[in-house]
Amino acid sequence: MNRRHARSIWGLVGNVTLACVALLTPRGADAGYLHMVPSTQVRLDEDAKTVIVNWTVKNDGDEPAHEVALDLPALNESYSFSSAMPAGERADVELKIPFDRLGIHRRGGYSLLYRILYKDANFYSFSAPYSMSIVLPPAPTRVLSGGPDGFSEISLSSRARGSVTLQNVSSIEADVDKIEPVAPVEVAVALDSVQLPLKLAPGERRSLDFHVTRAGALLGSTYVMGLVASGVAGDRHFAERISFTIRVVAPLLTGRTFMGVALAVLAVGTTIFWMRKRRSPIRR
Is the pLDDT score of 1 beyond 70?
Answer: no
CATH architecture designation of domain 142-249: Sandwich (2.60)
Count of alpha carbons within 13 angstroms of residue 127, beta-carbon side = 23
Which residues 6+ apart lie within 8 Å of 239 measured at CB? 109, 110, 111, 133, 228, 229, 230
Report, as an integer, the average pLDDT of 210-230. Answer: 96
Residue ranges of E strands in 138-183: 144-148, 154-156, 159-168, 174-182
Report, as an integer, the average pLDDT of 246-274. Answer: 66
What kind of fold does domain 34-139 have according to CATH? Immunoglobulin-like (2.60.40)
Strand, coil or helix: 71: strand
pTM of the predicted structure, to 2 decimals? 0.78
Per-residue confidence band for 12, with pLDDT thresholds at 50, 70 and 90: very low
Q: Do domains 34-139 and 142-249 have the same CATH topology?
A: yes
Q: Where are the domains of the chain?
A: 3-25+253-279, 34-139, 142-249
